[in-house]
Chain A
Amino acid sequence: MTDRKATEMMPDSYKWGFHDEARYVFRTERGLSRKVVEEIAGIKEEPQWMRDMRLRALEIFERKSMPNWGPDLSAVNLNDLYYYARASDRPERDWNEVPDYIRSTFDRLGIPEAERKFLAGVGAQYDSETVYHNIREELAKQGVIFADTDTAVREYPDLVRRYFGTVVPPADNKFSALNSAVWSGGSFIYVPEGVHVDIPLQAYFRINAENIGQFERTLIIAEPGSFIHYIEGCTAPIYTTNSLHAAVVEVIVKKGARVRYSTVQNWSTNVYNLVTKRSVAYEDAVVEWVDGNLGSKVTMKYPAVYLMEPGAHSEVLSLSFAGRGQHQDTGAKAVHVAPHTTSVITSKSISKDGGRASYRGLVKAYSGAKGIRSSVRCDALLLDGDSRSDTYPTMEIDERDVTVSHEASVSKVSEEQLFYLQSRGIDEQEATKMIVNGFVEPIVKELPMEYAVELNRLIELQLEGAIG
């Protein structure tokens, strides 16, 4: 029984474990150095300020030690990675112009279908460079900018320079410093005042070469009264050596604007996924992070919202699934800087086959942040006795006039629930899926339908390895 489970978890069963032969136009030497950083800036023909920022970030990176308060990162060998690779010469707008081998990869991921469905801008990152970017004309007419971040540095240097690194400075943590030094690709979105973008903008990211770290950099600016929903979905092939994904996402949400950022992340189980996601919310602004983490070997990700002015509201829905050999260390942060701000954090985790899911969260209220309200709820579901769930909630409340609540629950798929469903003819495997899908429903229902379906399917794929 145990043996059978083990084989079912092998890469064969990983649906997206295919590996296309990527042809690189250019890639830097292995490891990280001043020379590598300068080469990256050089090949991108970047302005001096960005080159300087990269080099400063590199120095910070070298000074900072690896985070040791969370998951085990000792197997990450930063000297063994390639920090930049480019698979095609330039970003392309038309699907038909995208090179065949890249298209075949995207075909299998259903990207053309996604495009047909949404007809929004599709920004798909293939290794370190965005090769495909399509902005629907109406968006452009509305003044919305949706570009890969490299293009944005060239075409909108003033906007990028004004905001880049202001929410997540290089010195924030070792991996934000690393990203700032070697970043490539990612999405840049600018939504002008009062503009509502009705269709979710989305990007697919993939790692497609062995030992290539992926360091995309995403920057979203929502001007007053605007609205945008940005979606990223990730699937990755299986490799035998460890890969690193260290992204930085910065979101600026001005007065009365609303940004929703949804992620469905399914890195292969040898990827270290160490991501810094942070937003600032001004007066009456709303920020929502919907974050689903299924794959990876280790994920460390805590989407954060800084509530800067009264009336700001943040919502984080975090979902993780930890299977065999996986450690999902996820959660959220709500930092109440201003009075009368509100935050809601909902975290759901599933562990099976010895997987470990941890909730790590912070609720902070500065002195003077009167009348804030914050509620945290984390629920963990264990599918077997070998799996593990931990909760590390931190509260730093320096103000008396606050309403803060924290609820946590850990449950097992109960024999009684299974028996109930089975007594209606539903077999054990299907019954377990139903219970798990029900458990994640509050998060899945927040996603657009296509993504909800995808997320449910990914969960089912992960479950199938678990059930005899």
Chain B
Amino acid sequence: MGKPLFQIQDLHVSVEGKEIVKGLNLVVGRGEVHAVMGPNASGKSTLANAIMGHPRYQVTKGKVLFKGEDVTALTPDERARRGLFLAFQYPRAIPGVTMVNFLRSALRAVRGSDVPVREFRTILRETMTMLKIDEDFARRYINDGFSGGEMKRAEVLQMGILKPDMSILDETDSGLDIDALRTVAEGINSLMSEERGMMVITHYQRILDYVQPGFVHVLFDGRIIKSGGPELAHELEAEGYERITGASVAGEVAS
């Protein structure tokens, strides 16, 4: 094929008329894990939502290519059915809809065909065991009354069941204690393969000890201002964002 798995070209995203992402370029090849790190308000969540096609995040310029196809105008469900996945920072509760029904509907939608009950149960059981998730979890309503940690596990559970080719993980480490983080990270790692790609969006370096990226990018004020290898994450951890972003740019954040 030769085409990269996932590509962002000169992406500009506005929310309610305000430009947040201001010309972002990024290429994720098959088998690659990229970390996008940035301080608060740098545009991390806007980027994640825009990639998945949230209707409130308007792409004013540029495009998102997935497996060579321009997906910028597609609805979120169309993107998901092509193998794109977003693990949410703040997953939504849907009272009255059980996880098990949701997961089965999602898998059916992504596959484009019905999933035999027995097969689904096997997949569900295996993925839940891997993520150390209790069995009655499946009977609870989607994210309804979940703790922060449960929500993140539920996100990775969905990822494990849908097996997307390209996953965007938006602050999946937040709200997790160290044991939970390790379990979740193991789940994420087990889903990585030569064929797949991942983008780990995070504020802190913590998760990157477990999910090790080959590429690290620093996002600031809607652009990637620096890219490098894993050492860049450690540099950020040791010295903070300010040294890389520069004092004058930091001033913009405050304004």
Chain A residues within CB distance 8 Å of chain B: 414-417, 419-428, 430-431, 434-435, 437-442
Interface bracket on B:
20 to 34
CB of B92 within 8 Å of the partner chain: yes
Given A417-B92, A438-B95; A423-B76 close (CB under 8 Å): yes
Is B162's CB under 8 angstroms from A424's CB? yes
- A426 partner, pick from B77, B79, B85, B141, beta carbons under 8 A: B77
CA distance A441 to B85 in the complex (A): 28
Chain B nearest Cβ from A403, distance in angstroms: 25
CB of B97 within 8 Å of the partner chain: yes
CA distance A318 to B237 in the complex (A): 56
CA distance A424 to B158 in the complex (A): 8
Is A440's CB under 8 angstroms from B96's CB? yes
Q: List the A side residues contacting B54 at CB < 8 Å.
A: 419
Is B80's CB under 8 angstroms from A424's CB? yes
Given A419-B76, A425-B77; A437-B96 close (CB under 8 Å): yes
CB of B86 within 8 Å of the partner chain: yes
**Which among A417, A426, A434 has the greatest number of chain B C-beta atoms within 10 A?**
A426
Given A424-B80, A434-B97, A437-B96; A419-B109 close (CB under 8 Å): no
- A422 partner, pick from B75, B94, B102, B142, beta carbons under 8 A: B75
Given A415-B55, A423-B52, A423-B86; A428-B77 close (CB under 8 Å): yes
Chain A nearest Cβ from B46, distance in angstroms: 14
Q: List the B side residues contacting A422 at CB < 8 Å.
A: 53, 75-77, 80
Given A421-B94, A424-B102, A438-B94; A430-B109 close (CB under 8 Å): yes
Apart from A426-B77, A439-B95, what are 10 other A-B pairs with CB-CB below 8 Å?
Answer: A414-B92, A417-B94, A419-B54, A424-B102, A424-B162, A426-B106, A430-B109, A431-B77, A437-B96, A441-B96
CB of B56 within 8 Å of the partner chain: yes
Q: List the B side residues contacting A438 at CB < 8 Å.
A: 94-97, 141-142
**Which among B54, B97, B158, B162 has the greatest number of chain A C-beta atoms within 10 A?**
B97
0/1 string, B104-121, CB within 8 A of A gives 1: 011001100000000000
CA distance A388 to B151 in the complex (A): 33
Q: List the B side residues contacting A435 at CB < 8 Å.
A: 94, 97
Q: List the A side residues contacting B158 at CB < 8 Å.
A: 424
CB of B88 within 8 Å of the partner chain: yes
* Sample of 28 A–B contacts (CB below 8 Å): A415-B56, A419-B52, A419-B54, A419-B92, A420-B88, A421-B94, A421-B106, A422-B75, A422-B76, A422-B80, A423-B76, A424-B105, A424-B106, A424-B158, A424-B162, A425-B110, A426-B77, A426-B105, A427-B75, A427-B77, A434-B94, A434-B105, A438-B94, A438-B96, A438-B97, A438-B142, A439-B96, A441-B96
Chain B nearest Cβ from A380, distance in angstroms: 14
Chain B residues within CB distance 8 Å of chain A: 49, 52-56, 75-77, 79-81, 85-86, 88, 91-92, 94-97, 101-102, 105-106, 109-110, 141-142, 158, 162
Q: List the A side residues contacting B142 at CB < 8 Å.
A: 438
Is B55's CB under 8 angstroms from A419's CB? yes
Q: List the B side residues contacting A417 at CB < 8 Å.
A: 92, 94
* Those 9 A-B pairs whose CB atoms lie nearest each other, nearest first: A438-B96, A441-B96, A425-B109, A425-B80, A424-B106, A438-B97, A422-B76, A425-B110, A420-B92
CA distance A149 to B106 in the complex (A): 49
Q: List the A side residues contacting B56 at CB < 8 Å.
A: 415
CA distance A435 to B144 in the complex (A): 13
CA distance A457 to B162 in the complex (A): 27
Chain B nearest Cβ from A453, distance in angstroms: 14
Q: List the A side residues contacting B110 at CB < 8 Å.
A: 424-425
Q: List the B side residues contacting A434 at CB < 8 Å.
A: 94, 97, 101-102, 105
Q: Which residue of A lies closest to B106 (CB)?
A: A424
CA distance A60 to B67 in the complex (A): 76
CA distance A425 to B115 in the complex (A): 14
Q: Which residue of B lies closest to A435 (CB)?
A: B94
Given A415-B55, A434-B105; A423-B97 close (CB under 8 Å): no
Is B96's CB under 8 angstroms from A428's CB? no
